[in-house]
Amino acid sequence: MTNPNDLIATLDLERFFSHDSNRYDLAAGTACNAAGSRVIYLSTDVVKGIHQALVDEAGPAWRLILKNCGTLWGRRVARHLDHELGLMFNANPADLPVAEYLKLVEGYFSAHGWGLLTLDLSKAESHGVITATLENSLFSEVLDQETSRVDFLIAGVLRSLFTHIAGQDLDCQEIASTRGGAPRGIFAITATARLDALESRIEKGEPAHTLLASLCQVA
């Protein structure tokens, strides 16, 4: 089996996430990646249409619906990453250092066009807080009529991915958004109760650095 300490250094992420290895069956109308998982391609018009339908049917609850969808999807992403890593590279994901595994997560976001994700573990051990930044967010680009947070689906995905990695329930909230004027999206991942205590301040648009400072103070 591949040495987990050497895996990421030798892992060809371009190959791991490449669409060149996808198999297309035009007669059946299917496309699968190298691991055999079925893939589909969505245009920005589809994303905009889904958002509008949710707004029309559920009003402000569209945010919660998208986050719940992201939470369910994130669980599947975690399982698929584990499966594909083992299948394509004969590696056990459980043996990987967390920081190394997160490089796969960042690559997944880029390869699927959701934006450029950067994960920061510098406050994880000392304060129990993980931060993530997202540049070129698909939702922020497409949902240009919104003036506040829009990356609820992404928050749900990150919530499930880190719950999977940590082996305990965590939550994720977007605390800054380009739709609200920030230069990039910022997410905080930590215990649910800690984020719940800041929900009203997040809704008011309090700056991300003060929210993160509060999270670190109560660690």
b/e sequence 179-218, b meaning 16+ C-beta within 10 Å: beebebbbbbbbbeebbeebeeebeebeebeebbeebeee
Query: What is the fold, at CATH topology level, of the domain defined by 43-217?
Result: Muramoyl-pentapeptide Carboxypeptidase; domain 2 (3.30.1380)
Phi, psi (deg, nearest 5) at residue 16? -60, -40
What pLDDT shows up at residue 43?
84
Q: What pLDDT score does 2 carry?
A: 45
Q: In this structure, are strands 23-25 and 171-176 parallel, antiparallel, or unpaired?
A: unpaired
For residue 128, give the amino acid letter: G
Two tokens, residue 194: 């800690």
Indicate the DSSP class of residue 38: B
Distance, CA of 183 to CA of 165 (rounded, Å): 28
Strand partners, 176: 186
Residue-range domain boundaries for the chain: 43-217
* CA pair distance 94, 80, nearest whole angstrom: 14
Name which of 119, 76, 92, 88 is nearest 11 in CA terms: 88
134 CB-near residues (< 8 Å, 6+ apart): 109, 114, 115, 116, 117, 118, 151, 154, 184, 185, 186, 187
Model pLDDT, residue 13: 61
Contact, 135 vs 168, CB < 8 A?
no
Give the pLDDT means over successive 10-residue stretches in the chain (219 positions): 50 64 84 76 88 95 96 92 74 73 85 91 93 95 92 96 92 95 95 94 93 84
